[in-house]
Structure 1
Amino acid sequence: MTSTSSQRLLARNTLLLFLSYLSQAALGVLSAVILARYLGVEGFGQYALVMAVVGIAGHFVELGFNTFLTREIAQQRSEARRFLLGSWLAKVLLAVAMAIPYYILLKVGFQDRADVLLAALDLTPLLVLIIALNASISSVFIAYEHMNEILLFNVLAVTAQLAGLFGLTWAGYNVDALIWWAVIVQMARFIFSWYRLERFLKNKDEGPIETHGWGWLKFSMNLIKRAWPIGLSTMAVTIYSRLDVILLSFITGDRMVGLYSAAYRFIDLLRMLPGAFQGAYFPMISRAEADGLGTEVERNFKRARRWSIGYGLGCVLIIVILAPYLIRWLYTEQFAPSIPILQSLVWIMIPLVINDLMQTYLYATGREILVPKISFIGILINGGLLLWAIPAFGMMGAVMSVLISNVVLSGLFWNMAIRKQLGQGKM
């Protein structure tokens, strides 16, 4: 593949993933607006806590399989169906293993929380498993660089999810009903996307599946063994990114979580474009690395790093100016305390997008084991700062902690992992 055609394919896949992520971001923002207006600050805080728990539990069940599948199938496409089925069995095993300690922790740590919140948290393992199964299907399409199917799945799921959220909140239902609706939508997506994948793979040159019976269990356990370094990485990153919401909930209560999460929704939205680029970039550099094209991989990384810094600075400039209008227009006046939070929180975009890019680079070049090592240092720093700053400064303390720890994390990734591999001390 020539350099020009490679760049065109990257641009096309980035656009398709961007549109796909745009639909997910639209769901995040619009659902936040609906929930904020109908459930109020406290109800929205409960929903945000459930989603934070779903995020952490989800990465335990996925255990890095999504990134692992994309890399492995991109390098050996004839094994796509075998990897898919093996990952599904592995995720079911991991979901069962996660559910037992999860329910014990739920009974011990959440005894004094609202009944409606406990009912929603009871559904988390089921929702997590279905989302994880769907993610395996998406990983296969990404490995084939066939992003248009993912766009279709996301648009349909987002439309159904928003319709349900609006209808249920308008009818007066609480958070537990919203989580039930999310389970139904994800199950429908699973059935439809599996059907589309089978049609897609039918036309591909695949070898016969030689795994049978108990061999599937052995194969799935082997996949877990191979994927765990990436899984450890993603779990560390997720715990790091959700720790602020979890600790805010326990230290300050649902209202503060609601105000903080309203601001953080915009950070999730701003991460959409670089996330789309990295999703398209990952299978391409994985293949280049496998083909021994290390110079091309390094050159593309340096270019992407400069772009990420510029993008982060642009986000800061726009949000600092528009934050008062965005918060009041979307969430109503009761969320006005979120304005200074958003104006301060947006500064994390600069180190955040760079950190995401450096992690993608390490995954693609087979050095994913470095990610959890560095991320666990970040967790310790972030956790220590949060435990001190939240009681002292509330939401703004959480913002300060997240910003400082992300800057430190950028320095650690660059000096401990990236700089040595590139062989240069500059961009």
Structure 2
Amino acid sequence: MSSIKEVFKNTSWLLISQIITSIFGFVWIVLLARYLGVSDFGTMNFAISFTTIMSIFTDLGLNIYTTRDLSRYPNLPQKYIGNIIPLKGLFSLITFIITIIILLIMDSTLLTIEVVLIFTMHMIFLNVGNLFNGVFQAYGKLKFQAIGIILNSSLVLIGTLLLIYFNLGLAFVALTYMIGSLFTLNYLYSKIRTKIIVPKLQFDFNFWKNSVKTAIPFGITTVFTTIYFMIDTVMLSFMIGNVAVGIYSSAYKVINVFITLYTVYNFVVFPLMSKFYKNSENLLKISYEKSVKYLLIMMLPIAIGITIYSSDVATLIFGNDYILAGDVLRILIWNVLFVMINGASTNLLNSSNNEVAVTKINGIACLINVLFNFVLIYYLSYIGASIATVITGIIICILMNYIITRGRFKPDMSLIYDIIKISISGLILTIILLFTHLNLLIAIPVAIIIYIIGLILTKSLDSTDAAILKEIIGRK
């Protein structure tokens, strides 16, 4: 139970930061969507998606590798931080040059080149900051990561308000993101110096070689995962146009709120699972099973509610110009459910030295995603991109569960029974919402009550869950 307390102690800081960031991010995205209009909003999201794909080559899995190894061997921070920083600098320079070459080959407009390059710098700063965040995760000092997240989101929100007030345009949107990530990077570096160790740059080429070799499976997985999440926006831009990107991206911004909150789980649990693999495989298995259960309990009612009220949600947030985003949101929200379940499976496999299996699965999924996007976008535009995304999530879920059930961490049948019970609660909620036709604002509290009653009636929470809950709230 002490490990459970450790999880929730760490989670509290990140949860607060992610809630604040989600609120701030929600506000600035709504403001930017309305300020820029569908076309320029699409251009902005194309730039973000393109630079996110390129940014994976500034890391190549080094962040995850550093977090995992420092979780197991906490006495080597100088060795890892001192060597990884210059290595990332080299990768970042190469990535920046390649980005310029690609933009010139694409014959992009001057504004698009300017926006993409500024976002590239933003992504580079963000990636180095994520290295420091990974170190904080390994040492359980998530308070500083949380403060960094709040600082970044606050700066972007303030910058957004200023650029809209002074009508500065699209390029200043990218500049706002870049300034936020630069200031956040400086803060994180200062805390690494004072709370962990004063980094001293090292150029141990044998360490570089071994680190890259070990990190490559993580890096390749990140490549596949990023392409899976971002390639649809890039392909929409080329095949259909930025108006379609604007509609699609607005729906994606809604589901990103839930994915952002889910990352709290990822930041806390992955280092913990890595420790469990070294010290207690039984606890590793239990943490995986409980993760799947709790993530499903949390996300299922949200997916059901947004599916039923998707058009209302889209127009309420972005305005009537984005009403078509409701059709996209109705489909994409289900991918969040698979992202969460697949994330739990990924953590289990990565923490137990099965990262190569994760890489293979994501490689297959990435290829399938690109093929489905190419066909479905051609015929169904942004609806096709939405369908391709969800299909890919389902395929990843099937493949990961196939690997897990064949190994020593095969879940107990009790997890299957729990999933069935939770699904029944969700079915009850769906039927009531469909037949009552409640107003959105009234439906939210009603749905919460109905879902909780459903969980109680189906006995979805057992004695172990009750013990965990008591531990969380501090009862004896």
Q: TM-score, normalised by structure 1?
A: 0.91
Q: In structure 2, do the counterparts of structure 1 residues 24 and 52 end up closer, same or farther at CA, with 3 Å as the change threshold?
A: farther
Match of 1:197 in 2: 192
Q: Distance in 2 between matches of 1:404 and 1:183?
A: 34
Correspondence for 1:241 among 229, 235, 238? 229
Aligned residue identity for 1:86: N
Amino acid corresponding to residue 185 of structure 2 in structure 1:
F
**Cα distance, 1:188–1:286 mapped onto 2, change above 3 Å:** same
Deviation string for 1:44-65 (max 9, x for gaps)?
A: 1111111112221222212112
The 5-angstrom pairing of residues 62-141 of structure 1 reads 62-109=59-106, 111=107, 113-141=108-136
Alignment deviations for residues 277-310 of structure 1 (CA, whole Å, 9 cap, x no partner): 122111111111122x111111221121122223
Contact 1:32 / 1:44 at 8 angstroms: preserved in 2?
no
8 A contact 1:90–1:223 mirrored in 2: no
Report the AA paired with residue 371 of structure 2.
Answer: G
1:137 deviates by: 1.0
Q: 2:270 aligns with which of 269, 274, 282?
A: 282
Partner of 2:358: 371
Q: 2:29 aligns with which of 27, 32, 38?
A: 32
Cα RMSD between the aligned structures?
Answer: 2.0
Contact between 2:71 and 2:138, CA under 8 Å: does it hold in 1?
A: yes
State the shift of 1:163 in Å: 0.6
Q: Give the 3-state SS of the residue equivalent to 2:75 in structure 1.
A: helix
Contact 1:18 1:272 in 2 (8 A): no
Q: Paired residue for 1:353, among 336, 340, 347?
A: 340
Residue number among 372, 376, 386 corresponding to 1:385 in the alignment: 372
Counterpart of 1:221?
209
| Closer/same/farther in 2, CA of residues 52 and 167 from structure 1, 3 Å limit | same
- AA partner of residue 342 (structure 2): N
Number of residue pairs aligned between Structure 1 and Structure 2: 414
**Unaligned stretches of 5+ residues in structure 1:** none
Aligned residues of 1:89 and 1:217 also touching (Cα < 8 A): no
SS at match of 2:355: coil
CA 1:338–1:392: 2 relative to 1, 3 Å: same
Q: Find the counterpart in structure 2 of residue 250 from structure 1.
A: 238
Distance 1:393 1:285 in 2: 41
Deviation at residue 236 of structure 1 after TM alignment: 1.1
Give 1:232's match in structure 2, choosing from 192, 217, 220: 220
Q: Distance in 1 between matches of 2:82 and 2:26?
A: 34
The offset of 1:364, in angstroms, is 1.1
Cα pair distance change 1:136/1:212, threshold 3 Å: closer
How far did residue 212 of structure 1 move? 7.7
Match in the other structure for 2:151: 156
Distance 1:218 1:23, change over 3 A: farther
Contact 2:13 2:143 in 1 (8 A): yes
- Give aligned-pair identity as a percent: 21
Corresponding position of 2:306: 319
Match of 1:344 among 300, 317, 331: 331
- TM-score norm. by structure 2 comes to 0.82
Q: What amino acid is the match of 2:357? A: L
The one-character-per-residue Cα deviations of 1:178-219 (angstroms, maximum 9, x if unpaired) are 2223222222222222112211125xxx9xx9x986x43443
Choose 1 or 2 for highest CA Rg: 2
Decide whether aligned partners of structure 1 residues 151 and 212 sit closer, same or farther in structure 2, where only a CA change above 3 A counts. Answer: closer
Q: CA deviation at 1:148?
A: 1.1
Please show how residues 259-270 of structure 1 align to structure 2 within 5 Å.
259-270=247-258
Contact 1:38 1:170 in 2 (8 A): no
Greater RCO, 1 or 2 (C-alpha within 8 Å, sep 6+): 1
